[in-house]
Amino acid sequence: MKRDQNSFRGCLVGGAIGDALGAPVEFMQLDEIISQYGPDGIQDLVISSSEKALITDDTQMTLFTAEGILRSETRRVTKGICHPPSVVFHAYQRWLLTQGYPRVPEYEWVYDGWLLDIEALHACRAPGVSCLTALRSEDHGTMDDPINTSRGCGGAMRSAPVGLFYRREEAFQLAAEMAALTHGHPSGFLSAGALAYLIDALIEGFDLETAVTKTLMILKKYEGHEKCTKKLELAEKLSKMGSFDDEAIALLGGGWVGEEALAIAVYCALKYQHDFRKALQTAVNHSGDSDSIGAITGNILGVYLGLNGIPVEWIEKVELKDVLIQIADDLLIDYDESNIDRKRYPGY
């Protein structure tokens, strides 16, 4: 079992690095990327005026997902009952506040917490339309009562913390429910469940190939799984065929929707599973959703290789490194009434 600080930190820091690596080329076609960065595309983190490589809404929402999970656990321990997706919904309302949207009077009591005090999290970094629209509606989308028909990757990109904190089938189910808050198509929320389950399988100590196989097995139990299953199986196949990466990724799609983003990330992780740098470079150099695919790839290989398997210079350059490490360490805690940090994670 890899339930240790190295793997937890690797998962969240690795995701942020993939996000930051892909951010400068997110909306560029491959030929534009090559024209600007050279024949191999973007190879290193782009450093901003703040002397850090900037993350996007992908990492912002990942942090707020983790905060919501931890606050829901406080509520479970102190109150004896909790619905984690509802507490995570409130965390997303705090994220919405950081993006410049007004407080909602109905939720006035949720606008607190240490993440709100982090100035860098108040930067607006191209947040997804589905997330913004769903959260501003104040309705709670569910798997059975979808809020929309979006199958975008905005549900999957933020779901790694669910796989870190919860186990097995519960991780899948809760990640899917949390994604369904904003993404109503099965591919939009099942891709999130699949990523969380995959993360948990890696924590449990399975090799990457076995973890993907186990993820497919549980995925197939859910209604509407077909699109996700087809793409993931294709990713498995392509990773073993020796295909050119640009051709393989083109077959998997652009990554703007959940099943494609997850499949491309799995392809990159499987093909370059012992080379974090090469996997992330492959994940972002294409004409699709570079930052989200980079983030998911970083989550997967980050937990698999651990923080020690990530280039040190990338760790030091990524924005909010210390915040990511703090959240990762907090997710690792085995909760009981004596060690909950109630001030940091109140139960609401």
Q: What is the pLDDT of residues 161-210, one digit of tens each?
A: 999 999 999 999 999 999 999 999 999 999 999 999 999 999 999 999 99
Residue 28 reports pLDDT greater than 70: yes
**Annotated binding residue at 57?**
yes
Contacts (Cβ under 8 Å, ≥6 apart) of 27: none
**Annotated binding residue at 291?**
yes
What per-residue confidence (pLDDT) applies to 105? 92
In order, the DSSP letters of 161-180 are HHHHHS-HHHHHHHHHHHHT
What per-residue confidence (pLDDT) applies to 335? 52
CATH superfamily of 5-332: ADP-ribosylation/Crystallin J1 (1.10.4080.10)
Query: Is 277:298 a contact under the CB 8 Å cutoff?
Result: no
**Annotated binding residue at 338?**
no
Q: What is the pLDDT of residues 325-348, one digit of tens each?
A: 999 999 998 655 557 677 899 988
Tokens standing for 279? Answer: 């996997």
Residue 257, SS3 per DSSP: strand
Q: What share of the chain is helix, strand, coil (3-state, %, to 5)?
A: 65, 0, 35
**Annotated binding residue at 287?**
no
Domain ranges of the chain: 5-332
**Annotated binding residue at 330?**
no
Residue 25, SS3 per DSSP: helix
What per-residue confidence (pLDDT) applies to 218? 98
What is the residue-averaged pLDDT of the chain? Answer: 95
**Alpha carbon distance 174, 149 (integer Å):** 19
Residue 13 reports pLDDT greater than 60: yes
